[in-house]
Structure 1
């Protein structure tokens, strides 16, 4: 007897397929198979089976479906296979050998494959794994958030296996096979950057350079038009590798950027920096908070969301190409100044007489954050000190830091007539952070420095940058910074310049050495959170159940990113009441999955923060997550972690600086519910030894 989840829900015995009946009965079986050998509460089944409010007789309906499934399995000889559908109080348990489930066998085969270390063995394993798929996962189940989340997770695993198979063929030199495998998946998932990057490399190795580059430009346009973001690390890296290989091999002239490639700049599209919004496997959140999505608001109403969510984290590559004149590429309209610097009033910009305008587009429907905007105005327009003012906008992942900084920058752009510069420092994104030399190179090009005059060292480039802007009225926005050391070389020195930095860290070093003024951004309260939901869903839908709206704000910890994901679930289901989603979110096992939109969400945002922790601090966070109510002091934290008091206090200080823990008062710490849930999941999946991030990286 075999159970199929990777396609239509089915049970086969021998060569015959058992008749499972209507969609809800298949859905009951699917939910039990997704949690084999685990008790599934009746209430969870009810919540998952009905798109609208469940009927009064829902319990009886579910019990009837379970009874019919039990009889169907018995008729198919389930007992001989060690299969039992048992009732445990008000819950059900499907007891069976997990290897009878195709999704389990798929996972085992993929885990055994090692496409880089043993590609010859990986190819047949991955082909067998992918051969188990018979269509979209969980076909035939009802449409509800739990099944949508489970189907999406299975599809992500399939696409990961497709990418791995492409890499295995590539490692064997079988690039035609790799291209054939990746092509159809790329066509069906045109925004999944890992697939496109793999396809580009395969096409290049088969001699189809123009096709490979066309895939990049097509994907870049789609990302910009549909999401307002630039290509991520893997896609950009594939593009640059192809350009460098062409240049080294005497390929098409003019394909490689003369300045950027030599410096290793991370901007394949002529941009100032990577947007940091796309992982190798797909889209992630907006720049400034990695996938957290301090970015676009998907509102359709006339109101404007409180957190100012917008695609405020990236600058379209076409706009940057215009401002930079495509880094000196002939024929792009970018007239360069003969000498670096030039005069005031933008004479040294990338286009003669035009100051650089590298800000991302303004955040759509920005509303609220008046206190933070006023604080930025106070800090950045203070001319009494005779120094270049510096503000640090800090807060937890997904709280809207980038949107606030970019909104202020657009409001006050007129105060900086010599230009506005923007760069994503990638401090909390996929891949490595942006090195200062890369960002400085882009700034110098935008300011009119000829490519051959851009210094290769960060120290020399920083000195030239400060010299060029010493007498200008210029605004610099440095988004998504990881550390003070990353920011310092990028600071202008002129008294008429101003700088805004956004980060999940407080960047205390900048406060100490550069007199930075912190501007904190907090989560939303009930009124603001409900206003955000109203802006996204329509005020009438929220007004009909204000208590449920307040509960949703609480369940989302007041984070705009989480609230947007919750609103996305409700937008897709216009017949749902807010209370229905609130009831689903009360299940802590499902909350993080439901607060995700495709491959972005609060879990992805938190993962970026935790990845920057040292192993010790990640283990401490994991221990804090076991606190019953999220409130604790240093003594309790030490007991939970098994650390000595000094080590615990140092760790708590670092977690507080990263906004993963909040110090409400002296020796009174809190950890938000969503952070607790994420840390518990990470602990359960990888164990304590696997929790550490990349905090030891230089």
Structure 2
């Protein structure tokens, strides 16, 4: 059984297509497929199905459509495929293997394709992905804003894949194929500048420079007439590159001297970096559309606002994304043009954390790891711990204390592994690093693999500190590691990043929650010692209610700062109400609920359900057997899930088969399941 969203909404089993009925019924199915294995509230279905005010009998209509869909799926043999359309209170859940949905398979194929690093493999993967499309996404659904937005998002993903396929053909020197792939999409989307820029480059490489330039002028006119704006950096970059190439000797013939890494001459992406480097550090080789072309003045980066004791406090500090892409660059990185030594060393660290206290053991551990010059290797430390425990603050504090040990500069990047949007692609960060090190914009490679090699070669003989904040995975970090023995790297993450320990000999530095004394000292530093000394017992209780997390304690201090007449005991009394605690431990966009949401968002559906089940534990202490009983999972599946949750610091393993889940994590997981925990009960009966 297969489900189609990339075209008309359809369900096929074998060679037959199931009859789904009217548009609203197809729309109900589409909305459930857009959120597979997730409960979808009845109110959301109603809001999506009726653009205007829904009729009084809307609930009955939706319930009828769900009932008919359940019967249709059953007639098609859904049970044999592990498919179930379940009701959980006033919400519905379509449980199924996600690979049965064409949009999911499309996303997996696109993610596997690496058009710059492995173009020969990327071409068939991307062609297969695009072959899943049978027309405009979500055809046959109602014409309401939610469905229009969802269809637009899917179309954006398709166009991104088309651009990637064009880049892959170009990296192979197949410029005619690249032009053919990009042409029809460019005609249909004449204001999509990245698409036009790719087509211009492809046309130029086939010897059709006049056509390439005409596309630029046509798009410039459209942008001015319809939007009142000038061409963006990517479009201007393609135009300027073509003009420079013409001035240097005319158009390059089709299939001409273009490197396999997608750059125009220069160092191929597979070249080993000078000074040895980390030859295995090219990572997944993904390249962000729109990375590495805009000069960045490190001295002008905005300072970080707010507390540095939180993992989220630094936002985009240190390595903001760039919008322009130079697909055709000379990336040899040799000579004086890429050395960066003529200017001031980069100083990209955020400002030192405010009111930083304690953490002497962790700072000493970082000093031991990062200043060890006996191994002849570039030292690497991973600062890991739960959300809100102060990993970023500790790393940045150490970096400022020891900045003098790294006279050639300090680089900082937020990898956004646990942020609101997508994680930062290595190519984006490498582009910023290379620019900060003095590499001219036109010499920044477009592929992550080539940029990584150039970065390692530039810093091979320097004394440089690299701080990589908020990493999601080892694969995201590896392309960003310097290779020189005098460089040092510190990574922060909510995950242990065991892969870096295994392959790059990273040394872990764990960060724990604060005890009563340290927590009270932090409150005193923010509120004044006299206010805390008035009621030391209430201060101890506040530390307990905040689970000893600096982020939560800072939010609590913010509440008290805004209410100078409140005693600590009054806030403690308010926080005892578990229904209000997470809300009270928030300050605008900073709070423990927001931090935990980022961690849980990165979990698989199975692990998220396991965490929700663990949250029902009476005292937060349990073993694998109890966890299996709460979740309805078999022992092996439960143990694997507990291991992953422990790695993410959402659960602690205090001793062999003794696990704990913090009170704040329990409260958050319960809130995420909805009121009354109805979906927990419904989700445990069949072990999924």
TM norm structure 1: 0.53
CA contact (8 A) 1:192 1:282 kept: no
Q: Measured at CA, do residues 176 and 414 of structure 1 come closer, stay the same or move farther in structure 2, by a change above 3 Å?
A: same
For residues 602-634 of structure 1, what are the alpha-carbon distances to aligned partners after superposition, in whole Å with 9 as ceiling and x for unaligned?
100000000000000000000000000000000
Q: Distance in 2 between matches of 1:679 and 1:524?
A: 22
Residue 452 of structure 1: CA displacement? Answer: 1.4
Bigger shift: residues 670-679 or 208-217: 208-217
**How many residue pairs align between the two structures?**
687
For residues 453-507 of structure 1, what are the alpha-carbon distances to aligned partners after superposition, in whole Å with 9 as ceiling and x for unaligned?
1111111111111111111111111000000000001001111110000000000
Residue 572 of structure 1: CA displacement? Answer: 1.2
Q: Measured at CA, do residues 324 and 692 of structure 1 come closer, stay the same or move farther in structure 2, by a change above 3 Å?
A: same
Q: Which runs of 5+ in 1 are unaligned?
A: 252-256, 291-296
Residue 669 of structure 1: CA displacement? Answer: 0.2
CA contact (8 A) 1:272 1:443 kept: no
Q: Measured at CA, do residues 476 and 627 of structure 1 come closer, stay the same or move farther in structure 2, by a change above 3 Å?
A: same
Q: Which runs of 5+ in 2 are unaligned?
A: none
For residues 196-225 of structure 1, what are the alpha-carbon distances to aligned partners after superposition, in whole Å with 9 as ceiling and x for unaligned?
999999999999999999999999999999
Task: State the SS of the aligned residue for 1:148.
Answer: helix
Q: Measured at CA, do residues 243 and 377 of structure 1 come closer, stay the same or move farther in structure 2, by a change above 3 Å?
A: farther
Residue 423 of structure 1: CA displacement? Answer: 0.6
Residue 357 of structure 1: CA displacement? Answer: 1.1
For residues 643-689 of structure 1, what are the alpha-carbon distances to aligned partners after superposition, in whole Å with 9 as ceiling and x for unaligned?
00000000000000000000000000000000000000001169787
CA contact (8 A) 2:369 2:507 kept: yes
Q: Measured at CA, do residues 541 and 74 of structure 1 come closer, stay the same or move farther in structure 2, by a change above 3 Å?
A: farther
Q: Distance in 2 between matches of 1:113 and 1:459?
A: 14
Q: Measured at CA, do residues 618 and 174 of structure 1 come closer, stay the same or move farther in structure 2, by a change above 3 Å?
A: farther
Bigger shift: residues 352-361 or 483-492: 352-361
Q: Distance in 1 between matches of 2:504 and 2:317?
A: 31
Q: Distance in 1 between matches of 2:162 and 2:235?
A: 16
Q: Measured at CA, do residues 261 and 520 of structure 1 come closer, stay the same or move farther in structure 2, by a change above 3 Å?
A: farther
Q: Distance in 1 between matches of 2:616 and 2:274?
A: 30
Task: State the SS of the aligned residue for 1:249.
Answer: coil
Residue 431 of structure 1: CA displacement? Answer: 0.7
For residues 74-107 of structure 1, what are the alpha-carbon distances to aligned partners after superposition, in whole Å with 9 as ceiling and x for unaligned?
9999999999999999999999999999999999
Q: Measured at CA, do residues 60 and 646 of structure 1 come closer, stay the same or move farther in structure 2, by a change above 3 Å?
A: closer
Structure 2 equivalent of residue 337 of structure 1: 327
CA contact (8 A) 1:325 1:334 kept: no
CA contact (8 A) 1:301 1:535 kept: no
Q: Measured at CA, do residues 611 and 489 of structure 1 come closer, stay the same or move farther in structure 2, by a change above 3 Å?
A: same
Residue 371 of structure 1: CA displacement? Answer: 0.7
Q: Measured at CA, do residues 365 and 640 of structure 1 come closer, stay the same or move farther in structure 2, by a change above 3 Å?
A: same
Q: Distance in 2 between matches of 1:383 and 1:326?
A: 32
CA contact (8 A) 1:323 1:356 kept: no
Q: Distance in 2 between matches of 1:645 and 1:74?
A: 30
Structure 2 equivalent of residue 267 of structure 1: 262
CA contact (8 A) 1:271 1:317 kept: no
Bigger shift: residues 5-14 or 644-653: 5-14
Aligned-residue Cα RMSD (Å) equals 15.0
Task: State the SS of the aligned residue for 1:688.
Answer: helix
Q: Distance in 1 between matches of 2:59 and 2:537?
A: 26
Residue 393 of structure 1: CA displacement? Answer: 0.4
CA contact (8 A) 2:292 2:432 kept: no
Bigger shift: residues 415-424 or 309-318: 309-318
CA contact (8 A) 1:379 1:389 kept: yes
For residues 133-183 of structure 1, what are the alpha-carbon distances to aligned partners after superposition, in whole Å with 9 as ceiling and x for unaligned?
999999999999999999999999999999999999999999999999999
CA contact (8 A) 1:484 1:507 kept: yes
TM norm structure 2: 0.54
Q: Distance in 1 between matches of 2:563 and 2:437?
A: 49
Residue 575 of structure 1: CA displacement? Answer: 1.2
Q: Measured at CA, do residues 684 and 59 of structure 1 come closer, stay the same or move farther in structure 2, by a change above 3 Å?
A: closer
Q: Measured at CA, do residues 405 and 503 of structure 1 come closer, stay the same or move farther in structure 2, by a change above 3 Å?
A: same
Task: State the SS of the aligned residue for 2:470.
Answer: strand
For residues 551-587 of structure 1, what are the alpha-carbon distances to aligned partners after superposition, in whole Å with 9 as ceiling and x for unaligned?
0000000001111111111111111111111111111
For residues 18-70 of structure 1, what are the alpha-carbon distances to aligned partners after superposition, in whole Å with 9 as ceiling and x for unaligned?
99999999999999999999999999999999999999999999999999999
Bigger shift: residues 126-135 or 203-212: 126-135
Q: Distance in 2 between matches of 1:78 and 1:527?
A: 58
Bigger shift: residues 502-511 or 23-32: 23-32
Mapping of residues 210-229 of structure 1, within 5 Å: none
Q: Measured at CA, do residues 478 and 233 of structure 1 come closer, stay the same or move farther in structure 2, by a change above 3 Å?
A: farther
